Amino acid sequence: MTIRVSIDASGGDKGIPVTVNAGIQALGLFLDLHVIFVGDKESISLELEKISFDQSVKSRISIVHASEIVHMHESPSSALRKKKDSSMRVAINLVNENKADACISAGNTGALMAISRFVLKTIKGVDRPAIMGRMPTTTGHTHMLDLGANIDSSPQSLLEFAILGSIAVQYTENISRPTVGLLNIGEEEIKGNENIKKTSELLKESNLNYVGFIEGNDIYEGKVDLVVCNGFEGNIALKASEGVAKLMSHYLKKSFNKNWITRIVAIIAYPVLKDFKSSLNPGLYNGASFLGLKGIVIKSHGGADAFSFLQAIREAYLESQVNITDKISDKVSEELQKDQLN
């Protein structure tokens, strides 16, 4: 079975040089992958000429021309209404037309969500999509949603997000019953606002493997497989994590460059430092899923380099491989039938 992914080649801060190189790397890793680069055909072709790869890889590359680009500063409404031939829109259209199994873009998040919702629509029974991403933990990684698609969500929406995320984690991570935690300012039942308390009650009544409230520090200890939160708090936690990783890197470099003794220590400690940097590299966790749509859409960080963008392609490949959209649709349909019977 061939897995086809469309890449918004022109999207993001760095555009074609990053997306095309990452795409070629992905083709070397996944032998059943076919990549469709969407953007300015001439620019993509010129970039491909700079990279050496064998004929078997070349046969798994397609280019679809798009004459426009959605810029990072554009409003979602403007991108949706005015740029119908943007690389972002065309890449999403390919998923809607069943010419691609998934779409990846490093472009404007708001525009990507707006266009995805308009073109692909949401799965029946899903009120609104949520953004789910991975976060590093002491045990590996955890998943978290919503990371910014919905700033102010009702308890019912948060329950919905928990269901979407739990299904995605179950199949992409091969965990039969993922543990679910609700982000709060404390673990005690009396903590939190009414919205959070009501959400907790709904989660307790659900069939999810809900373990209760977790605090911000619990995210990184890997206490649960899925962290559920409002998009406002989720996005802050995500950006704060990236900031802390950069801060630690900054002070490590500063400390090891103080004098000749610390420089010698840095040389001796290089293998450990390399492993440390690799474990906390935000790029390793790049690739957030827009869950709840009738199609797979993966959002890459706008400033991603080729390694980081490759992780987003990997996520798209994995979700396509397990047919995550169908899995979510079947589960939501099952839940709706239960509600009707009750």
Of the ranges 21-30, 191-200, 315-324, which one carries the lowest mean pLDDT score? 191-200
Q: How high is the pLDDT of residue 39?
A: 97
Q: What is the mean pLDDT of the chain?
A: 90
Helices of type H across the chain: 16-29, 41-49, 55-58, 76-82, 87-96, 109-120, 155-172, 194-205, 216-219, 231-256, 260-268, 270-280, 306-321, 324-341
Q: What is the pLDDT of residues 46-79, one digit of tens each?
A: 999 998 888 788 899 999 999 999 998 999 999 9
209 burial class (0-12, 13-18, 19+ CB within 10 angstroms)? middle
Mean pLDDT confidence for 284-312: 94
Distance CA 5, CA 309 (A): 13
Q: What is the pLDDT of residues 183-202, one digit of tens each?
A: 999 888 888 789 999 999 99
Q: How high is the pLDDT of residue 254?
A: 84
Mean pLDDT confidence for 4-21: 95
What is the three-class DSSP state of 279?
Answer: helix
Confidence of residue 279 (pLDDT cuts 50, 70, 90): low
Q: Is the per-residue pLDDT at 277 higher than 70?
A: no
Q: Is the per-residue pLDDT at 152 higher than 60?
A: yes
Of the ranges 201-205, 237-241, 243-247, 309-313, which one carries the lowest mean pLDDT score? 243-247
Q: Is the per-residue pLDDT at 250 higher than 90?
A: no
Of the ranges 161-175, 184-198, 249-263, 308-322, which one carries the lowest mean pLDDT score? 249-263
Q: Is the per-residue pLDDT at 302 higher than 60?
A: yes
Contact 297, 149 (CB under 8 A): no
Q: Is the per-residue pLDDT at 313 higher than 50?
A: yes
Confidence of residue 341 (pLDDT cuts 50, 70, 90): very low
Residue with tokens 């269901």: 163
* Cα 204 → chain centroid: 27
**What domains can you pick out in the chain, each with its CATH number?**
3-126+292-322 (3.40.718.10), 130-253 (3.40.718.10)
Q: Could you give the strand order of the β-sheet that contains 3-8, starting from the edge strand earlier in sequence?
A: 61-65, 33-39, 3-8, 102-105, 296-299, 288-291, 130-137, 140-145, 226-228, 179-183, 209-214
Confidence of residue 336 (pLDDT cuts 50, 70, 90): low
Contact 306, 20 (CB under 8 A): no
Q: How high is the pLDDT of residue 338?
A: 61
Note the pTM of the prediction, 2 decimals.
Answer: 0.90
User: Which residues on adjacent β-strands are paired with residue 86?
Assistant: 68
Q: How high is the pLDDT of residue 337?
A: 58
**Backbone phi and psi for residue 86, each to the nearest 5 degrees, phi listed first:** -75, 155
Residue 30, number of CB atoms within 10 A of its CB: 18
Share of the chain above pLDDT 70, in %: 95
Confidence of residue 280 (pLDDT cuts 50, 70, 90): low
Q: What is the pLDDT of residues 94-141, one digit of tens each?
A: 999 999 999 999 999 999 999 999 999 999 888 889 999 998 888 888
Q: How high is the pLDDT of residue 340?
A: 47
Mean pLDDT confidence for 296-303: 94
Tokens (6 digits) for 60 = 């798994």
Mean pLDDT confidence for 254-277: 76
What is the three-class DSSP state of 175?
Answer: coil
What is the three-class DSSP state of 255?
Answer: helix
What is the three-class DSSP state of 6?
Answer: strand
